[in-house]
């Protein structure tokens, strides 16, 4: 029973005794210590402090605290291992054009190894079995065709192209292309009456220096129909296709 409970009990006893005619004999009790005065004994000394109590149960978890400040930056880590090679990338853009190179040296073949001619007839071929004399010159810069003999004479060994387109009139025409006294190409035009024919042929020949090429009508004079006038040409031409490699 606590002090408050004890005083309440003392109060009740005081009221009960007062009702029994004893209240006048004693002064009013000190309201601050009614019991001590009533019971008559001297108050005791306060007791010694008790032993500390046992630890209480753990409290409940507190509320979540505020977020702390950001920590300092950590030390630099070790370098990692070398990664594997990546896939090949797409093709890059084309580079800028390079600087123009220096001018090359002057070539030899373009100027030294030139050989070409183009000639025509100026009238009827008068004589069979001799070189046809083409005296109408379209081109003969190198003079490798001899207008006095009707023969082309090779100056640059190599491959040559020869062609002829002859008008045939009044009679048949048999024409051969000769190389060094040997006929290598033959053309026969059978003339049709009241007509104007053309006989033509072409050939590639390799020539050595000094070898000659020409056209010639063969057979009897009756077969000599090779013809030309101002407006019906008969032509013969040839040119060096390419020289031999060992020519310098």
Ligand X SMILES: *[C@@H]1O[C@H](CO)[C@@H](O)[C@H](O)[C@H]1NC(C)=O
Cβ atoms of 205 and 178 closer than 8 Å:
no
How far is 242 from 115, CA to CA, in rounded Å?
A: 10
Please state the closest distance from residue 228 (CB atom) to ligand X, in A: 9
Q: Is 174 exposed, middle or buried (0-12, 13-18, 19+ CB in 10 A)?
A: buried
Which residue lies nearer to ligand X by CB, 38 or 191? 191
Q: Which residue, judged by CB position, is nearest to ligand X in the bound state?
A: 232
How far CA 53 is from CA of 58, 59, 181, 218, in Å, comes to: 15, 16, 150, 155
How far is 168 from 196, CA to CA, in rounded Å?
A: 6
Please state the closest distance from residue 98 (CB atom) to ligand X, in A: 57
Query: Any residues with CB less than 8 A from the CB of 206 and at least 6 apart, and which?
Result: 157, 158, 159, 160
Which residue lies nearer to ligand X by CB, 26 or 229? 229
Which residue lies nearer to ligand X by CB, 35 or 168? 168
Which residue lies nearer to ligand X by CB, 148 or 194? 194
Please state the closest distance from residue 233 (CB atom) to ligand X, in A: 9
Enumerate binding residues for ligand X (CB under 6 A): 169, 196, 229, 231-232
Please state the closest distance from residue 241 (CB atom) to ligand X, in A: 32
């Amino acid at each position: 029973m606590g002090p408050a409970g004890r005083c309440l009990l003392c109060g009740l006893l005081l009221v009960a005794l007062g009702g029994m005619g004893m209240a006048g004999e004693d002064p009013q009790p000190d309201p601050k210590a009614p019991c001590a005065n009533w019971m008559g004994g001297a108050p005791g000394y306060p007791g010694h402090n008790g032993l500390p109590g046992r630890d209480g149960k753990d409290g409940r978890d507190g509320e979540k605290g505020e977020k702390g400040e950001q920590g300092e930056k950590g030390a630099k880590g070790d370098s990692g291992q070398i990664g594997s090679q990546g896939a090949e990338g797409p093709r890059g853009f084309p580079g800028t054009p390079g600087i123009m190179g220096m001018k090359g040296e002057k070539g030899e073949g373009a100027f030294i190894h030139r050989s070409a001619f183009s000639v025509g007839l100026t009238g009827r071929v008068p004589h069979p079995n001799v070189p046809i004399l083409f005296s109408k010159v379209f081109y003969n810069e190198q003079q490798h065709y001899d207008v006095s003999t009707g023969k082309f004479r090779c100056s640059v060994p190599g491959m040559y192209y020869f062609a002829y387109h002859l008008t045939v009139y009044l009679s048949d025409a048999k024409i051969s292309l000769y190389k060094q006294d040997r006929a290598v190409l033959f053309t026969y035009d059978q003339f049709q009456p009241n007509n104007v024919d053309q006989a033509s042929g072409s050939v590639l020949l390799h020539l050595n220096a000094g070898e000659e090429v020409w056209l010639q009508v063969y057979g009897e004079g009756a077969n000599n129909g090779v013809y030309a006038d101002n407006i019906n040409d008969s032509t013969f031409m040839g040119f060096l296709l390419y020289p031999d490699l060992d020519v310098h």
